[in-house]
Amino acid sequence: MANPLKRLIEPNYPSTALGLEQGVAAIVQLDGGRRNQYNVRRAASMALPESLIRPGFDQPNIADSAELGKTLRDLATSAGLLRQARWSVTLPEATVRSLILTMETQAGSRSELEDVLRWKTERGLGAPLDELQISREGLPKDGQGRDRYLVVGVRAAILAEYESVFKSLGWRAGVILPRHMGEAFWLTKTAANEDSLLVCSHAAGFTAVIFHQRQPVVLRSILCNEAEREDEFYRLLLFYRDRRTAEATEGSPASIGSMLVVGGHFDPNQARQIASETLDREVNPLEPVQIGLKIPTPDLSFDAIAAPAGLAAMHWA
């Protein structure tokens, strides 16, 4: 089945990507594409001052554009990629909002469809469309035959902050997506006979994406503190379990059988235990080797490079 994220991005894009999150930046260049195996050719990550990038949907993100530009130049130099001009980029998770829109009824015309989608998008993202940069892609119909759309939105003023830094470096960032979409690529390669789960954790909470037959069916971005994280995760799994029970038919794929926990703000073992107990089946944590990513050294953190590596791997998707 086709990669559901592919048409959100340009058809020709590089095998080199940058990932940004509060406190860390990472650069990855891959070799790969054969038998769904990808090798890290060049990579580097760098700790950032916590105050340099303050991710958020509604406020400026970059405290000092010149300092961030200098840091990214140093990072590219350390990876041997200073002369690289074309990039894909993942932005901090709290900077971008994503959602799946479901049409309860069939629109009578194209204009009616656009009006409904505009209303749902503004309501779901919490901002007027004229302040946003939006990507929208149709998804397969749900089990009840309803149309669904994947929507990604970022405030245009905030996107311009990042683009200004890239321009100062002479970089052309043709693909800019939220972090979880880079990480989600690795789950589009899992078996279609069971669902899979991505947990993209960050300082302000986590984003969870559940894939059914390699297509996203549940997408939740949850803002919470560390003490609330496990309870919020448990509630999400209960919602999925109840929904799946209601929609299950004979021959339906098994429930979540594998999960990828990324970001360093959620203990993978604890997440696995909660998922296994809630869903009453063993949920297996995925390691880089199982998703086809070969990391040459243990000094290179998968948490740091998972998102940009996912975008870089889309070069062959």
DSSP string for 76-129? HHHTT-TT--EEEEEE-GGG-EEEEEE-SS--SSHHHHHHHHHHHHHHHHTS-G
Strands 24-34 and 37-47, by their bridges, are: antiparallel
Structure tokens at 125: 């993202």
Rounded Cα gap, residues 28 and 23, in angstroms: 17
Q: What is the pLDDT along the chain (317 residues), one digit of tens a residue?
A: 344 444 444 446 799 999 999 999 999 999 986 778 999 999 999 999 999 999 999 999 999 999 999 999 999 999 999 999 999 999 999 999 999 999 998 888 999 999 999 999 999 999 999 999 999 999 999 888 899 999 999 999 999 999 999 999 999 998 899 999 999 999 987 777 889 999 999 999 999 999 988 889 999 999 999 999 999 999 999 999 998 877 766 556 568 999 999 999 999 999 999 999 999 999 999 999 999 999 998 889 999 999 999 999 999 87
10, 18, 165, 24: which is closest to 81 by C-alpha? 18
pTM over 0.85: yes
- Burial label for 231, CB within 10 Å (0-12, 13-18, 19+), is exposed
Structure tokens at 97: 């909002």
CB 52 within 8 A of CB 161: no
Return the SS3 of 1: coil
- Name the DSSP class of 145: S
